[in-house]
Amino acid sequence: MAEISVSASEVRLALSRFEKFAGLHGDVAVPMPLIRGAEVIADPFANIRGVRAPGLGIPRRLCIGTWRGRGVRSFVAARSGVPAIRVRTLGRGSGAEFDELIVTVPDAVRVAAQIRDVLDVERVGVPEHEVRFRSGDGTVLTGTVTVPAGAEGGPAAVILTGSGRLDRDGDHAKLPIGVSRALADALAEKGVASLRYDKRGVAHSGGNYLSAGLSDNIADAAAAVDWLGTTGGFGRNSIAVIGHSEGACLAVALGADRGVDPAAVVLLACPAVTGRQVLQWQSGKAVDGLPAPVRAVLRALRIDVKERQRAALEKLSRSTTDTARMGGRRVNARWFREFLDFDPKPLLRENPAPVLAITGAKDVQVDPADLTAIAELVPGQVDTVRVPDLTHLIRRDTAPPSLRAYRRLVRDAVDPEVLSLVADWTAGHLRRA
């Protein structure tokens, strides 16, 4: 079985003789500066995508070698039914040979923690520690507080992730987006502390993800602000909320809540229309982003993707249970029902705090034109920025916008100019306690 050793300078994957022969590859060494993170995955086979080239695969038993798929190059040495460690790199554009390593090793939890510890030590002067807090219904959420020197009492921000099963760093098991972690680092450089947390039912947080509604996520976000202003010891007049995608919707709701009353609100890729309108707009952009041959086949087969999407949304809106089965899989029907009816317009009108709204010109999940509506709706100070070539993942792309580019885009770092803009604006609008 492969082994991973961790030092301050690198992560080294040592393969057995059989694994080297089967994978046609020697040991793999990744310099620590090229590593984005590490986590344990319960089912490595569910996370392997693409074509094996070269390598060995025994169905439902063993995968060894290089996998290439959707712009991601992975080195795999995994066994079925055994937890594995996934080491994510900054991507081949940074000099790394692979975008990720997926490896079954003894004591994967300990090894992943070792890598994370080294990465945290490298972030000199920015101590982090794990915290737990309770939401209104008693659900225990787990997150990370980042406190740069001098920011013990504020300023501070709660960072709210997008939709889906995202952890505190803004990562999905199959798509390491990393927006929340990047925001925490950028804020720390400007002397702003932050709290980011795993969504309920994800990673180390309690609760059931599939039964959580949008209203639960809003309550969890409010509880995070409350924790910062009480147990966390940060001044209530120096706490901002920063949300990306669904997190921006949560931030809008908190901005209108006088019980939360954030000192500043940052909205990354925030809609200004109902959830139903957002999903319908997304459907149109998804069809537009399909290759021309695929669109031709759909027309020939008389398949109306937009109509199918509309029918699916209607089915979800008529559901009465927490979950529903769509396309052979269980989805969070309650969240969809609440999101379909969610309307940010009256909430934006009731927001007294200063607002920064940023959306990319190549966003295919939120209409960049909604920035105009946000500027008109917010009654107080509001700054809106439409960033050229910026996508929903807060990365820039010179190619035509498409959902199919996401797996390629996450190999790049979160856009540094956007991060700097958010951090500078937030630090400038918060008062120290």
CA distance 183 to 176: 14
How many CA atoms does the CB half-sphere of 9 hold within 13 Å?
Answer: 1
pLDDT at 433 (0 to 100): 43
- Class of domain 127-273+343-429 as given by CATH: alpha beta
Q: Give the global pTM.
A: 0.75
pLDDT at 70 (0 to 100): 66
| CA distances in angstroms from 106 to 41, 110, 115, 277, listed in the order given | 13, 9, 15, 48
> Is the model's pLDDT at 41 over the cut of 50?
yes
- For 174-185, the pLDDT digits (tens) are 788 889 999 999
Peptide bond between residue 379 and the one before it cis (omega within 30 degrees of 0): no
| In the chain, ranges of CATH 3.40.50.1820 domains | 127-273+343-429
Q: If you count them, how many residues does the chain have?
A: 433
74-78, 95-99, 349-353, range with the lowest pLDDT: 95-99
User: CA gyration radius for the chain?
Assistant: 22
Q: Across residues 195-219, what is the average pLDDT?
A: 95
- For 386-422, the pLDDT digits (tens) are 999 999 999 999 998 888 888 888 878 899 999 999 9
> Is the model's pLDDT at 297 over the cut of 70?
no
CA distance 294 to 310: 20
38-42, 243-247, 348-352, range with the lowest pLDDT: 38-42
Q: Which of 260, 259, 281 is nearest to 269 (CA)?
A: 281
* pLDDT tier at 158, thresholds 50, 70, 90: very high
Higher-pLDDT residue of 70 and 193 is: 193
